[in-house]
């Protein structure tokens, strides 16, 4: 069970990111994507300042997707390292 912990943590994080993206498509509020941005910090702030057209939904979703992928990889590799140190 301990060996599966990195995958479980990564999947939980990715599910939270997907759930935070849903309000972007269902609400008309300007702050509907704030949870997605918060879940992908610091990459969302770095990428949004580097990419042109940061006001569009497509660029925002791209920033969230790339930030989520980077954070998921960090969560996986750090938790895998911790599990290997404990086992």
**pTM for this structure?**
0.89
What's the per-residue H, E or C state across 36-68?
A: HHHHCCCHHHHHHHHCCCCCCHHHHHHHHHHHH
pLDDT, one tens digit per residue, over 66-79 is: 999 999 999 999 99
- In tens, the pLDDT along 20-70 reads 999 988 988 878 889 999 999 999 889 888 888 767 888 889 999 999 999
pLDDT for 49 equals: 85
| Coil, strand or helix at 87 | coil
Query: What local confidence, expressed as pLDDT, does residue 54 receive?
Result: 65
User: Taking the CA atoms of the chain, what radius of gyration do you get in angstroms?
Assistant: 15
Per the CB < 8 A criterion, the answer to whether 7 and 76 are in contact is yes
CA angle 49, 52, 58 (to 5 degrees): 100
Task: Write down the domain spans for the chain.
Answer: 2-86
- pLDDT of 35 reads 94
């Amino acid at each position: 069970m301990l060996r599966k912990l990195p995958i479980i943590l990564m999947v939980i994080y990715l599910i939270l990111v997907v759930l935070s993206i849903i309000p972007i498509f269902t609400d008309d509020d300007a702050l509907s994507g704030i949870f997605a941005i918060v879940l992908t910090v610091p990459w969302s702030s770095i990428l949004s300042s580097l990419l042109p057209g940061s006001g569009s939904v497509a660029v925002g979703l791209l920033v969230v997707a790339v930030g989520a992928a980077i954070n998921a990889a960090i969560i996986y590799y750090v938790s895998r390292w911790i599990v290997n140190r404990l086992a």
